[in-house]
């Protein structure tokens, strides 16, 4: 079933931003929660602590968060499968909070699908450039220049699309939840709360992914990479030794610039920088593959949770 055909509905929504306009701190939750709700709370807390971690590289953190979202929505499916939950939700199909959850879930599906498609394109661009570099034997090859320029041009276009998607996601993050939930019974109150919270955390993770993907290389000064090129030329440092000290995207553009520029005046240095670019491209390709696989899994669970929710609403 296509996303556009399912435009009537969705599952999830709560923001990591503790803005009083859209969180439910004022709601009194039951002291005794169902174990399924407790499991979801635990996964949500894990995701929040992962975001605060400073020990992982940005890409590793984002990928772990994507897998965390998969786990989250598996638990949401279990919660929605409970007879207690189905009985609590049934009959509320006209409530505003139901439509808000449904709208959010289709938004999450659409955003995940768009990001997955962009990653697929980026992975393809990386593969094409790798092929050209592998065939290269000498510096100054016009094929290299053409391929590098095509890669840079495509990357700039993709990052513009990612920036637009990020702006839309930030706008949905500032959504104002309207109606009061105080009249709901204890279990339903807890269910709605974790669904909203899950939605906000989903937005937060997807936002982090978009920020990582759209990271501009211009944050690093070219002079640093000219220095790296000179050190490589002198045999003082190898490309892989510098790789752990920079973020995944920040070095590749400058390595490519050095391949094309006057910094690679010697054949040996140019070949060394081509090897350096290949290593970085291999790392990026692996990152993209992991993210693509993770988003595929997340999309499946988002869809399942949505279908479960819609099925509950159709019960009479």
Residues 272-313: tens digit of each pLDDT: 888 888 889 999 999 999 999 999 999 999 999 999 999 999
Whether 194 is in a domain gets the answer yes
Number of domains in the chain: 1
* 15 falls within a domain: yes
Is residue 289 in some structural domain? no
Q: What is the pLDDT of residue 285?
A: 94
For the stretch 228-262, pLDDT in tens is 545 454 444 445 544 443 456 667 877 887 777 65
Residue 127 covered by a domain: yes
Helix (H) or strand (E) holding 293: helix 267-314
The reply to whether 12 falls in a domain is: yes
**pLDDT attached to residue 216:** 58
Q: What is the pLDDT of residue 239?
A: 58
C-alpha dist (Å) from residue 88 to 57, 190, 193: 42, 11, 14
Contacts of 252 (CB under 8 A, 6+ apart): 217, 277, 280, 281, 284
Q: What is the pLDDT of residue 34?
A: 80
Cα 128 to Cα 153: distance, rounded to the nearest angstrom: 13
Average pLDDT over residues 264-270: 68
| Cα–Cα dist 310/306, whole Å | 6
The better pLDDT of the pair 151, 265 is held by 151
Is 106 part of a structural domain of the chain? yes
Angle subtended at Cα 124 by Cα 129 and Cα 275, rounded to the nearest 5 degrees = 30
Q: How far apart are CA 51 and CA 204, in angstroms?
A: 9
Q: Please tell me which of 70-84, 164-178, 204-218 the model is most confident about, judged by mean pLDDT.
A: 70-84
Could you give the CA distance from residue 224 to residue 114 in angstroms, rounded to a whole number?
34
Residue 90 has pLDDT above 50, yes or no: yes
Average pLDDT value for residue range 101-126: 95
Which pLDDT does position 271 carry in this prediction?
Answer: 79
**Contact between residue 136 and residue 274 where contact means Cβ atoms under 8 Å apart:** yes
**What pLDDT sits at residue 115?**
96
Is residue 241 in some structural domain?
no
Residue 71 lies in a domain: yes
Domain range enclosing 187: 4-216+296-314
Give the other-Cβ count within 10 Å of 292's Cβ. 17
């Amino acid at each position: 079933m296509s996303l556009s055909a399912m435009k009537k509905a969705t599952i999830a929504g709560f923001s990591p931003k503790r803005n009083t306009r859209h969180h439910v701190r004022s709601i009194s939750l039951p002291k005794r929660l169902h174990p399924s709700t407790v499991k979801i709370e635990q996964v949500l807390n894990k995701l929040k602590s992962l975001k605060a971690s400073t020990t992982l590289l940005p890409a590793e953190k984002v990928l772990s968060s994507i897998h965390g979202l998969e786990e989250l929505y598996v638990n949401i499916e279990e919660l929605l499968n409970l007879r207690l939950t189905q009985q609590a939700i049934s009959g509320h199909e006209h409530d505003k909070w139901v439509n808000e959850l449904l709208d959010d879930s289709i938004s999450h599906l659409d955003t995940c699908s768009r990001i997955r498609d962009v990653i697929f394109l980026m992975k393809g661009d990386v593969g094409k450039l790798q092929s050209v570099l592998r065939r290269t034997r000498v510096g100054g090859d016009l094929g290299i220049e053409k391929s590098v320029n095509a890669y840079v041009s495509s990357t700039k276009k993709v990052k513009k699309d990612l920036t637009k998607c990020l702006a839309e996601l930030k706008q949905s993050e500032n959504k104002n939840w309207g109606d009061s939930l105080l009249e709901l019974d204890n279990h339903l109150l807890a269910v709605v709360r974790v669904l909203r919270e899950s939605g906000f955390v989903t937005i937060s993770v997807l936002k982090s992914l978009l920020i990582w993907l759209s990271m501009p290389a211009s944050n690093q000064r070219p002079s640093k990479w000219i220095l790296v090129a000179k050190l490589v030329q002198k045999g003082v440092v190898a490309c892989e030794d510098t790789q752990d000290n920079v973020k995944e995207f920040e070095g590749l553009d400058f390595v490519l610039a050095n391949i094309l520029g006057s910094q690679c005046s010697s054949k040996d240095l140019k070949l060394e920088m081509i090897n350096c670019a290949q290593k970085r491209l291999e790392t990026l390709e692996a990152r993209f593959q992991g993210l693509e696989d993770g988003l595929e899994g997340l999309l499946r669970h988002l869809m399942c949770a949505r279908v479960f929710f819609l099925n509950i609403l159709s019960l009479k």
